[in-house]
Amino acid sequence: MSDNVGYLNGRILAPKVFGEVFSHFYFAENRLAHTITQTLLPSYQTMLIFSFGTNALLHSNENERIEIAKCAVLGPIKKAFDYSLPPKSNLLIANFKDDAFYRFFGAASIAAHLPIDPDALLKENCFSVLWDKLNGFRDSKAQVAYLLEFCTPYLSERNAIAAQLVKLKNGAFNPIKEVANKENRSERVIQINHKKYLGYSAKEISRYQRFLHAVEMMQHLAPKATKNNWFEIIDACGYYDQSQLINDFKYYTNLSPTQYLKFQGTICNPVT
C-alpha cells in the first residue's frame, strides 16, 4: 500500500472462499490538490469500478476522456490505458478472475476500453443501490466486505468446460486440444467456449503470459540491465528476436522496453 502524502492506494486480497472469483480489490483516493494520472497495464481481467467523490477519468486510445460517475464495467483489459484521479476522487475496483465475470453477468467479452453500466447487463438497478450503500462507508475493507456479501446471490455455478480451461491455462502446452480430446468435442467448439467464458482466446492469453514473463524479468534485472540481459529475456520468454519483444511491448503498452523501464514508476501492474 502507498500513501504518498495525500495519495492513498493499495490492494485488498479476496478471502479464500472467493479465490476463484476475485483476484483482488484495488482502492485509490486522491487527497492532493492536483490530478494524479497513472497507466494501467493489461491484465486480461474484467473490472467492476466504483467511483466516489469527484468523477474519475479514463483516457481512450483516441484521446477521449471518459468520466466514471458511479459504477462501470471495463474489460477484459487487453492493452494499457491511462486513468486520472482528480482531487477528492476515490476508486474501488473489483478485479474478476478467469470466468467469474461470465458467472455473474452471462457474458465475458465487452468493449475493453469503453465502460458500460453494470445495471444495463443485469437489466435492473441493483448496482445503483449498491453504490449508494458503498458510498456510506469510509473504509475500503468495509466496502469490500459489503460488496462480497451483496454479490454472492448473483454468482452461478462454474461451467465444466470453463473449469478445465481455467485449470490448464497456465500449464498445458495446448489446453484447447487437451480439453477437446477429453470432452470428445472439436477444437473449434472448445475455442468458442474459451472465448465465451473467459472473454479472450487461448492464443491471446498465451501471448500475454509471454509478455508478462518478460515484464517480470525486466523489473528484476532493471538495476543491472545490460545488452546480455535483453538476450536472456528473449531466450527465457520464447521470443524469436529482439524485434518481437519490442513489438509486444508496443502492442500492450505503446512503449518500447527501455521506455517502459524509464516510466514504470507511473505504471500500475494489476497482476503483481
107 and 242, same domain (yes or no)? no
Q: What is the pLDDT of residue 26?
A: 95
188 and 234, same domain (yes or no)? no
The per-residue pLDDT for range 27-81, each reduced to its tens digit, is: 999 999 999 999 888 899 999 999 999 999 988 766 778 888 888 888 888 988 8
The residue segments making up the domain with residue 143 are 2-154
Residue 8, amino acid = L
Q: What are phi and psi of 182, to 5 degrees?
A: -70, -40
- From 171, 190, 173, 172, select the one nearest 181 (Cα to Cα): 190
Q: C-alpha distances in angstroms, 125 versus 49, 57, 129, 130? A: 16, 23, 7, 9
57 and 137, same domain (yes or no)? yes
195 and 207, same domain (yes or no)? no
pTM: 0.84
Give the mean model confidence (pLDDT) for residues 146-167: 92
Q: What are phi and psi of 143, to 5 degrees?
A: -60, -45
Q: What are phi and psi of 233, to 5 degrees?
A: -65, -45
245 contacts 214 by C-beta, under 8 angstroms: yes
49 and 143, same domain (yes or no)? yes
The per-residue pLDDT for range 197-233, each reduced to its tens digit, is: 999 999 999 999 999 999 888 877 766 656 667 888 8
> Among 154, 170, 185, which residue terminates a domain?
154
184 and 216, same domain (yes or no)? no
109 and 16, same domain (yes or no)? yes
Grade residue 160 by pLDDT with cuts at 50, 70 and 90: very high
27 and 150, same domain (yes or no)? yes
